[in-house]
Structure 1
Amino acid sequence: MAKRPIDPRVKLRHIACFLEVARLKSVVKAADALNMSQPAASKTIQELEEILGVSLFDRSRRNLFLTPSGELFQRYASTSFTALRQGIDSLGSAQADEIVKVGALPTVSARILPPSVQRFSEQHLPARARIITGPNAYLLSLLRMGDVDLVIGRMADPDAMTGLAFEHLYSEKVVFVVRPGHPLLGVKHFELAMIEPYQTLMPTPDSVIRPFVQRLLLAHGVSNVRDEIETVSNAFGRSFTRYSDAIWIISEGVVAEDVADGQLALLPVDTAETLGPVGLTTRTDTSQSFAAQALIQSIRDVAAGFERS
């Protein structure tokens, strides 16, 4: 029995618009990302739904969420779109070096990636690395779309891992860091509640470690964090903490070298309950190129040293 042909009315623009709306949960944001007008984006989604004969989005709430049919269609549309992108990219690989695109959370950007990329570069392959940083949800959306080859950082919630695979490399915890000479470093019997009078740098709500931090603070009766600043910027957090009395709550890997060099200091907080796995996240439906495998192996080799230390 012959397979049913794809409806010729389904165009690439329909798929691209659908995937962006699904990723951003907003027609307005998707239109902006695709450089098209909001009415045109809305019309494109409506056309696709009419062609498929199903509703792809639940419009009963402020943000758009996929219906069960939409989730099913996204799974196959995303895979197909990624395969097409890889096919186009492969045609130009003979004329240009391959680019291995890595989505990296701040914790690994400062610690594991520099020596890993150095090892990768020393292999002199016809390839180069491109590092893209940002919050976890954003990086995973890039991974699903094929805009990055892998993501390295803390493991996401199970609900966000559908169609993805995680390889554990090592574990790390959250730490509380301050500048050398900070008043709290001289306290003999330190308690976590003592941080309340001080300005605090917190991970953003969409960061992987935010729930761990909130549970830890609540468990120690800390409910009144003063002048909270939300950031995942390594550069800002490092600079602001060194030149103020602020307390920076951040993954250990981000500040490990600063602490070792004496540029920052750890408050004596038991954060064992925030320990979590750091590793590689990849798609289950695609295979890695030789260059990407080489970079992944470099990351594994460097991470092995962290796990032993």
Structure 2
Amino acid sequence: MIMHPAIKLRHIRVFLAIAAEGNLSAVARAQGVTQPALSRSLAELEDLLAAPLFRREKRRLILTEQGALFRHHAAAAVQALETAAAVLHPEGPGGRIRVGILPTAATRLFPVIALRFRQIAPQVTLAVETGPHSHLVRLLRDGAIDLMIGRMPAARDMAGLRFEHLYEDPIALVSRAGHPLAGQPVAQALAACPLILPPGDAIIRRAVDEYLLVLNRATPQPAFETVALAVGRGILAGSDALWFISRGVVADELQRGTLIEWPTGAAFLSGAVGLTWRQSGGQAGPEKTGLDLIRRLAQEEAAHMA
């Protein structure tokens, strides 16, 4: 069912105010309107939606199941509209938002978010910081960045931070296309080829080490350690090396066919990707508005990737 074109923003605001207060007279006083006018607006909305939004219990209005569902989505929609409007008019000549980007989000997710953000808020600068997970978490705690996008921090690092899940990103084992051992068992290829592993402090390294143990192989001495796309891609192009890396880092190369993925059959080689910020970040005004917009754009793009 498509939303009735006669539904106006005033209907939604009236509904949300009544849902919050549970009382018509209190909302009428707060908005400076008469209670009958408020009742008419609510009745119009229920007629247009063809659904009862409240039930009356003594002097209070209680949300029905349909009303609670509508409130959830209506509140998010109004917040999105307010965010979009506010971010166009930050205080002063412009704003600056500091974002830390981990490799798994750097090649596909964040560029799309950044370009959409630029269209909506061209006067706001996105200052991007990259680096290993431990480095960005430290910057986040110190207030040097406002938000981090990438894999979820380890449990030991989550004190004082909040994480919002966007999607799951597997750890892939990849090589150049045309690898001479392509199609052979993974264990055989791992024993015969140089390995590129994530650095020891990378958030995905532990899962890779566990996978190698499952294959009855202690973590070998790697030929190289990196999660940098340019470095890993260059080494793979000139050798028969195999690279354990977040699939999000090499997704474009896999799609183009310049790299191939080896089947690991390990469901645990996957992890949450999302947004991390300080619980007591204290952002206010345009900065908070900009961060809210980035979060909403990230949610929308992650939904397209799912």
Fold match, TM over 0.5? yes
Q: Quote how far apart the aligned CAs of 1:305 are.
A: 1.3
Alpha-carbon contact 2:99-2:128 (below 8 Å) kept: yes
Match of 2:168 among 143, 168, 171: 171
Find the counterpart in structure 1 of residue 32 from structure 2. Answer: none
Find the counterpart in structure 2 of residue 119 from structure 1. Answer: 116
Match of 1:229 among 224, 244, 253: 224
Match of 1:142 among 133, 139, 147: 139
- Tell me how far apart the structure 2 counterparts of residues 166 and 287 of structure 1 sit (CA, whole Å): 16
Classify the secondary structure of the residue corresponding to 1:165.
strand
Q: Quote how far apart the aligned CAs of 1:243 are.
A: 2.0
* TM-score of the pair, normalised by structure 2: 0.66
- CA-atom RMSD in angstroms: 1.6
Map of 1:1-309 to 2, 5 A cutoff?
Answer: 95-187=92-184, 190-223=185-218, 225=220, 227-288=222-283, 289-307=288-306
Alpha-carbon contact 1:193-1:221 (below 8 Å) kept: no
Q: What amino acid sits opposite 1:102 in the alignment?
A: V
Larger radius of gyration: 2
Alpha-carbon contact 1:184-1:267 (below 8 Å) kept: no
Q: Deviations over 1:175-213 (max 9, x none)?
A: 1000010012143xx132431221111000111000000
- Tell me how far apart the structure 2 counterparts of residues 94 and 124 of structure 1 sit (CA, whole Å): 13
Alpha-carbon contact 1:197-1:225 (below 8 Å) kept: no
Classify the secondary structure of the residue corresponding to 1:147.
coil
Following superposition, which runs of at least 4 residues in structure 1 exceed 4 angstroms of deviation? 93-96
- Tell me how far apart the structure 2 counterparts of residues 245 and 192 of structure 1 sit (CA, whole Å): 15
Return 5+ residue gaps in structure 1 as ranges. Answer: 1-92
Alpha-carbon contact 1:175-1:271 (below 8 Å) kept: no
Alpha-carbon contact 1:196-1:226 (below 8 Å) kept: no
Alpha-carbon contact 1:100-1:128 (below 8 Å) kept: yes
Return 5+ residue gaps in structure 2 as ranges. Answer: 1-89
Q: Quote how far apart the aligned CAs of 1:96 are.
A: 4.4
Q: Residues 192, 291 of structure 1: CA spacing in aligned structure 2 closer, same or farther, 3 A cutoff?
A: same
Q: Deviations over 1:90-121 (max 9, x none)?
A: xxx85542111111110100121011111111
Q: What amino acid sits opposite 2:115 in the alignment?
A: Q
Q: Deviations over 1:247-286 (max 9, x none)?
A: 1110010011100011100112213111111110011112
* TM-score of the pair, normalised by structure 1: 0.66
Q: What amino acid sits opposite 2:276 in the alignment?
A: T
Q: Residues 163, 173 of structure 1: CA spacing in aligned structure 2 closer, same or farther, 3 A cutoff?
A: same
- Tell me how far apart the structure 2 counterparts of residues 257 and 186 of structure 1 sit (CA, whole Å): 22
Q: Residues 111, 267 of structure 1: CA spacing in aligned structure 2 closer, same or farther, 3 A cutoff?
A: same
Q: Residues 101, 150 of structure 1: CA spacing in aligned structure 2 closer, same or farther, 3 A cutoff?
A: same
Q: Quote how far apart the aligned CAs of 1:228 are.
A: 2.4
- Tell me how far apart the structure 2 counterparts of residues 239 and 191 of structure 1 sit (CA, whole Å): 22
Q: Residues 96, 196 of structure 1: CA spacing in aligned structure 2 closer, same or farther, 3 A cutoff?
A: farther
Q: What amino acid sits opposite 2:210 in the alignment?
A: R
Alpha-carbon contact 2:197-2:222 (below 8 Å) kept: no
